[in-house]
Chain A
Amino acid sequence: MVLPLLIVVLLACAALAGWALWFVVQDRAVILKQLFGAAVVEGLVVVQAIVAGVLMAQGHPVDGPLFWGYVATALVVLPVAAIWAFAERTKWSSVVLAVAALTVGFLDWRLWQIWGAA
């Protein structure tokens, strides 16, 4: 993993969570544009995973199973949460999206810790 990419992912997660929370305040449900936003975050996590994979192949030491387990979880959370959120047409869908975005941000932070630990 590289620091600039970590910061980009964390900012993207924060932005998505903020957008969703703004909708909660306004008592609005998740809209399609926000799902595109979630897709952007997802794409960034995929890029990050590819970069990490390349660095690992070049010899960066890391607890592989633990790291990829977190990557897998981080990649699953947003799509599942997005579908689950979109099916509900109340403000609670926005709460769900916000929680999912914050979860991905947290998982990404854990990935950074795991990356540096080995």
Chain B
Amino acid sequence: MSPAAPRTGSGFGRLLVTVYGVLAFAAIGRSSYELATKFSEAPVAYSLSTLSAVVYVLATVALAKGGPHWRVVAWVTVGFEAVGVLAVGAASVASPDVFGETTVWSGFGQGYGYVPLVLPFVGLWWLWRTRPRGAAAAAPEPAVPADPDPEVR
């Protein structure tokens, strides 16, 4: 555990950002291909692909940058992915053609080796682990935790 300001993009975080970046590229590639060649075939699925691509890019940048504001962006985008992959995954299993076509998150990210399923939870764990501890960082657990962004959890 690094002392003062744990960085979300250093150490293990460097790997996390890399995998996020690869997934972001994969999602951008997929969605631009779908938008350019066959958007009208399955607008819902392809809109979802585009949305997930944007979220992956934002999450990658936010995790790489770190700072207080980017940390909030990271919590929101990574959390969104966790919810997204579970919701879309469950919907796609319950009713295989609900979106008309497969998306990054269909079958809980099956088409991408389940990386989209695992990654957000690793990301949330890492954000929690590298959270700023305030002045009393050395103390076991302060009575009132100095959490700079209590609205995101």
Does chain B have a CB within 8 A of A45?
Answer: no
Does chain B have a CB within 8 A of A117?
Answer: no
Q: Closest Cβ of chain A: how far from B66's Cβ, in Å?
A: 13
Which positions 67-93 of chain A face chain B at CB distance < 8 Å?
Answer: 69-70, 72-73, 76-77, 80-81, 84-85, 88, 90, 92-93
Chain A residue nearest to B18 (CB atoms) is A96
A72–B29 touching, CB < 8 Å: yes
A65–B33 touching, CB < 8 Å: yes
Q: Known: A84-B17, A92-B12, A96-B14. Is A69-B22 also a contact (CB below 8 A)?
A: no
Count contacts on B: residues with CB < 8 A to the other chain: 18
Please give, as numbers and ranges, the residues of chain B lying within 8 Å of A77 by CB-CB distance.
22, 25
Please give, as numbers and ranges, the residues of chain B lying within 8 Å of A81 by CB-CB distance.
18, 21
Q: Known: A65-B37, A66-B33, A70-B29. Is A99-B22 also a contact (CB below 8 A)?
A: yes
Please give, as numbers and ranges, the residues of chain A lying within 8 Å of B36 by CB-CB distance.
65
Q: How many A-B residue pairs have CB under 8 A?
A: 49
Count contacts on A: residues with CB < 8 A to the other chain: 21
* Interchain CA distance A95-B22 in the complex, whole Å: 14
Does chain A have a CB within 8 A of B19?
Answer: yes
Does chain A have a CB within 8 A of B47?
Answer: no
Which positions 31-74 of chain A face chain B at CB distance < 8 Å?
Answer: 65-66, 69-70, 72-73
Please give, as numbers and ranges, the residues of chain B lying within 8 Å of A88 by CB-CB distance.
10-11, 14
Q: Known: A69-B29, A70-B29, A73-B26. Is A80-B21 also a contact (CB below 8 A)?
A: yes
B22–A103 touching, CB < 8 Å: yes
Does chain B have a CB within 8 A of A12?
Answer: no
* Interchain CA distance A76-B28 in the complex, whole Å: 13
Does chain B have a CB within 8 A of A100?
Answer: yes
B32–A92 touching, CB < 8 Å: no
B14–A85 touching, CB < 8 Å: yes
* Interchain CA distance A86-B10 in the complex, whole Å: 12
Tell me which of B15, B29, B33, B64 contacts A92 (CB under 8 A). Answer: B15
Question: B-side interface residues toward A, CB under 8 Å?
Answer: 10-12, 14-15, 17-19, 21-22, 25-26, 29, 32-33, 36-37, 64
